[in-house]
Amino acid sequence: MLQGKWITLGVSGGIAAYKAADLASKLTAQGAAVHVILTAAAARFVGPVTFAGVTGHFVHQDMFANSPDCAIPHIDLASRADLLVIAPATANVLAKLAAGLADDLLSATALAATCPVLVCPAMNAAMYQHPAVQKNLQVLESYGYHILEPASGRMACGTVGKGRLPETSVILEKIYQLLTPQGNLSGLKVLVTAGGTREPIDPVRYISNRSSGKMGYALARAAAQRGARVTLVTTPTALEPPPGVEVVRVETAQQMLEAVMAVYDRVEVVIKAAAVADYRPARMAEQKIKKSDAMLVLELVKNPDILGQLGQHKRPGVTLVGFAAETADLLQNAADKLRRKNLDLIVANDVTVPGAGFGSDTNVVKLLYADGSVKDVPRLDKLELAHLIWDEVLRLRGK
């Protein structure tokens, strides 16, 4: 995702400096060239060898040292960067940046930077709350710096409060957002459903399916990265919801229908990646069903077809996208669903193909459009496929 990007990562001297090594490693794994600046205090927490090891690049500590890839370190590290990230940013670094000091490599680089700057403060909760720190953060915001709020929880000093460096995944998300070219879904209101519904049999059992929710979460994540306002209606999954997304949790198809209808009037695009159970037990037993020697027969009644209902009440300007997970007659079944549910696009996948469908991190699909055209998509990572689906949604919307 970050292929060809130069990220200058400033690490300042707090205990969270050790987490910056994980960040540097993950950014490198995504294809970014990560050039680390360690302040003198940071180097007392984590040594340059660690950062050089995970990034494969020289680690910068001194304004005046010879560096293999920068002639004038503070200028090169600023002008060649697509993004300057300072994580963790200590109270001292925030004060220096706010005042415009340039007495070490990191502060001088920040002054010379014309790329976006992401600042991730991390410190003891009392320090973070201090008016001086809060004022400095306001000043940095007024310079156009992006500030990632610290997380709350237990800190290394033993106190509990706000000041922890957010998890690497949260910082990465913010970085993707800042490096995504144009945020071309900016302001678009979208609804995504994800996961397999659970239809209760009794208080301890339910009927469900193999949906992991990964495709729906990837669609929500990709949309948020590109600036959309995303509502994610999800059944219970093992996944962390993407940051910046409004999450509505449901279990049954009936609850999903209600949650979807509650927001349908406000959205412009709906993508129904959820695997909705077509049937539910006619009655949920109030007590746990005990086994007996007789055969157990479950009576099932039909669930509402949520997407079908959206299609029936489709407003002009709304784009409806469905999924069809099939084991046979892929194109014919998908084309039939597209027509029946009044969709603009259906994403069809044959779940028997290796690397496609439930639980997998990749998917192999065909895209079928209301005008009868079909596109074959090669095997893609689900997040890449999500971005491609959003590209197609934009095209259909004439953008």
Question: Residue 11 and residue 75: Cα distance in Å, rounded?
Answer: 17
Instruction: Return the residue of 251, 278, 381, 384 that touches ligand CTP, per CB under 6 A.
Output: 278
Helix then strand count (H, E) for the chain reads: 14, 19
Give the residue, chosen from 37, 191, 276, 338, that forms a contact with ligand CTP under the rule CB under 6 A.
Answer: 276
Which region, judged by CB under 6 A, interacts with ligand CTP, from 200-208, 231-239, 317-325, 373-381?
A: 317-325
Q: Which residue lies nearer to ligand CTP by CB, 118 or 343?
A: 343
Alpha helices in 12-56 (DSSP H): 17-29, 42-45, 48-55
Judged by CB under 6 A, does residue 311 bind ligand CTP?
A: no
User: How far is the C-alpha of 327 from the C-alpha of 331, rounded, in Å?
Assistant: 11
Strands 6-11 and 33-38 turn out to be parallel
Cβ nearer to ligand CTP, comparing 179 with 307? 307
Q: Contact at 8 Å (CB) between 382 and 363?
A: yes
Query: Does the protein bind ligand CTP through residue 384 (CB under 6 A)?
Result: no
Stretch that binds ligand CTP, among 3-11, 103-111, 292-300, 320-328 (CB under 6 A): 320-328
Contact pick of 73, 150, 322, 357 for ligand CTP (by CB under 6 A) = 322
Three-class DSSP category at 390? helix
Q: Does 155 bind ligand CTP (CB under 6 A)?
A: no
User: Distance between CA atoms of 284 and 302, rounded to whole angstroms?
Assistant: 14
Nearer to ligand CTP, 134 or 312 (CB): 312
CB 193 within 8 A of CB 248: no
272 binds ligand CTP (CB under 6 A): yes
Interface stretch with ligand CTP, choices 84-92, 123-131, 322-330, 384-392 (CB under 6 A)? 322-330
Query: Cβ of residue 51: shortest distance to ligand CTP, in angstroms?
Result: 45
CB of 91 closer than 8 Å to CB of 122: no
- Which DSSP string do the residues of 168-214 spell out, in sequence order? HHHHHHHHHHHHSSS-TTTT-EEEEEESB--EEEETTEEE--S--SH
The secondary structure of the chain in percent helix, strand, coil, rounded to multiples of 5, reads 35, 25, 40
Retrieve residue 232's tokens. 């994610």
Q: Please, which of residues 205-264 interact with ligand CTP by CB under 6 A?
A: 253
Clarify whether 157 is annotated catalytic: yes
- Residue of 280, 337, 382, 387 interacting with ligand CTP (CB under 6 A): 337
Choices 114-122, 123-131, 153-161, 272-280 (CB under 6 A): range interacting with ligand CTP: 272-280
Binding-site string for ligand CTP from residue 42 to residue 71, where x marks contact by CB under 6 A and - marks none = ------------------------------
Among all residues, which ones are annotated catalytic?
157
Which positions lie near ligand CTP, rule CB under 6 A?
Answer: 253, 272, 274, 276, 278, 303, 305-307, 322-325, 337
